[in-house]
Chain A
């Protein structure tokens, strides 16, 4: 299957700082990347969908000015959590898909754990 990497896998930061998370598709071109957040013992929550070269589409309730997404190439998307606060502590997971069509699906990165002190 397709391989998606994320970096870093763990990050601990002070409240008020910004954190950047990278998501890369290693062996395929991802026209679409998705960013999810998962709190302990809860379901995956889609935060935003990004298409290469265009602005991300955010889900209702997700602040686009706080969670900045850049999808500059077909293999790289970044999520920047700006001015992070303790309530932003969560497991952030990206997934990547080719041109979503019948038969294709999303492949997940290993996730990034963010702890804001």
Chain B
């Protein structure tokens, strides 16, 4: 069973601080990793993708990938109340002759003003 694990939270972070969200995965050969944000009552939206070891930065967001340790993380700098949401980690893996996205259960992030 290929799995993606996330701490469900809630993770509470003061406004302006760095929020750090973590995700671990079980399939060693996974090649593509994604972070989605889901606001309450809305559908998920893609915010970051990462394919190579190291860091990838996009504005206030930085995705970090470590394939040897099988974890991927998302850092949010200068956290804002509008960043409060559930963050879903998704890992693309090859299963049953198809590429499939395996989803984590999500981490609820709360940014306190």
Taking beta carbons and an 8 Å cutoff, which residues of A are in contact with B?
1, 43-44, 46, 49, 91, 93, 100-111
Interface residues as binary, B4-34 with A (CB distance below 8 Å gives 1, 0 otherwise): 0000000000000000000000000001101
A103 to B31: give the CA distance in the assembly, Å: 8
A13 to B45: give the CA distance in the assembly, Å: 28
CB distance from B15 to the nearest CB of A (A): 24
B interface residue count range (under 10 / 10 to 19 / 20 to 34 / 35 or more) = 20 to 34
CB distance from A99 to the nearest CB of B (A): 9
Taking beta carbons and an 8 Å cutoff, which residues of B are in contact with A?
31-32, 34, 36, 41-46, 49, 51, 88, 90, 92, 98-101, 103, 105-106
B103 contacts A43, C-beta separation under 8 Å: yes
A100-B92, A100-B98 known; A105-B43 Cβ under 8 A:
no
A93-B43, A105-B46, A108-B43 known; A43-B106 Cβ under 8 A:
yes
Majority-rule SS of A interface residues: loop
A106 to B51: give the CA distance in the assembly, Å: 15
Ranked nearest first, the 3 interchain pairs of A and B with the lowest CB-CB distance are A100-B99, A111-B43, A108-B43
A1 to B49: give the CA distance in the assembly, Å: 12
A102 to B101: give the CA distance in the assembly, Å: 11
